[in-house]
Amino acid sequence: MNPMKLASDSTDSAETAGMMEQAFADRDGSYDGVFFFAVKTTGIFCRPSCPSRPKRENVEFFRSSTECLIAGYRPCKRCQPLDTHGSPQPWVTELIKRIQTNPSIRLKSSDLLASGVTPERARRWFRDHTGLTFAEWCRCHRLACAFTRIQAGDSLDDAGFEAGFESTSGFRTAFAKKYGTAPGEARHSGRCVKVAIWDSPIGPLIAGAHDEAICLLDYIDRRTLSAGLESLHRKFRCALVPGTHPLLERLQLELTEYFEGRLAGFTVPVAPEGTSFQRKVWHELRRIPSGRTISYDDLATRIGQPSAIRAVARANATNQICILIPCHRVIGKDGALSGYGGGVWRKRLLLRLEQSSAAELHDIPMGTTPPTSPR
């Protein structure tokens, strides 16, 4: 059998169905992440290699973990099927390790071909999973390493040359273009927003944190993302730097638990930047329990401004910390799903995931009515 053929096949042909059947019967781990099976009697979904063996008549197949979640299934705690989503292939892991070990290295097409990777394959993978081409990702990583060295006290010349820049002027220009500030100013400001990009069951997310809190969590395919990043830079008056941060690591762990249906409330601190009205709306959003929804009218009433329904909707639209500040829990008065920057399909999936988790964890208070199923 050929997992690559199944992954590239866009139709539910008899041949594809047969390949899924055989992989399921053989517990073929080479198909992990290529498709998933869900068990109707238990409400969970698994990877093909899962040790559990449900009866075939109780099983249905899905092409992605997102489809499983939308259909109302929970990830199996035994085989952890979400761990397969976006997991880098060995050649990607090796390539990233090579760059991280030696940030100044500049890999040419011939270098990639010598390691068995075509330049187009590398460009496409990094574009699809990070929003950057391979060349852009390498450049971003070099600048981030230089920024870290500058903050540690290295001279600008040393930081630039160690990062692989051949001239000080070239380094200064690239740094200022990427981060909106000169290297020297970045050193004296003593503050930056560390930014990371992660894959998730609902698509790649970009997250940002400074030393006090999370200040960004958004979808990289959101049309307003570029403007949002520029706004974030202006608000905090500091550079946005690719890298790691303890709060980002904590957030990633909590998001993993959330998507697995094991977390109803986040504990990582958030610091949204906005007007006093926007902050009031965002604060009230965080008071909506997981698994519940309210209307825009109700939200306006809750903040003491019942006539400000449109302003409330605009505040929702400008929220730059999705999921943690759950603007997806606000729906139309008639129950319709609309007005979500990440797309209605994501809103529907998040609500279904939370409703399933809330019911399982008994998170809905007694005497209340669960929200209606999203349309």
Task: Given the residues 46, 138, 192, 238, select the one marked as catalytic.
Answer: 46
Which residues is 75 bridged to in the sheet? 45
Q: Is 76 a catalytic residue?
A: no
SS3 240: strand
SS3 313: helix
DSSP letter for 67, please. Answer: H
Q: SS3 for the chain, per residue? A: CCHHHHHHCCCCCHHHHHHHHHHHHHCCHHHECCEEEEECCCCEEECCCCCCCCCHHHEEEECCHHHHHHCCCEECCCCCHHHHCCCCCHHHHHHHHHHHHCCCCCCCHHHHHHCCCCHHHHHHHHHHHHCCCHHHHHHHHHHHHHHHHHHCCCCHHHHHHHCCCCCHHHHHHHHHHHHCCCHHHHHHHCCEEEEEEECCCCCCEEEEECCCCEEEEEECCCCCHHHHHHHHHHHHCCEEEECCCHHHHHHHHHHHHHHCCCCCCCCCCECCCCCHHHHHHHHHHCCCCCCCCEEHHHHHHHCCCCCCHHHHHHHHHCCCECCCCCHHHEECCCCCCCCCCCCHHHHHHHHHHHHHHHHHCCCCCCCCCCCCCCC
Task: Given the residues 192, 215, 238, 327, select the one marked as catalytic.
Answer: 327
Q: Is 327 a catalytic residue?
A: yes
- Chain centroid, CA 82 distance in Å: 13
Which residues is 187 bridged to in the sheet? none
Rounded to whole angstroms, the Cα distance separating 291 from 228 reads 28
Rounded to whole angstroms, the Cα distance separating 28 from 38 reads 16
Active site amino acids: 46, 327
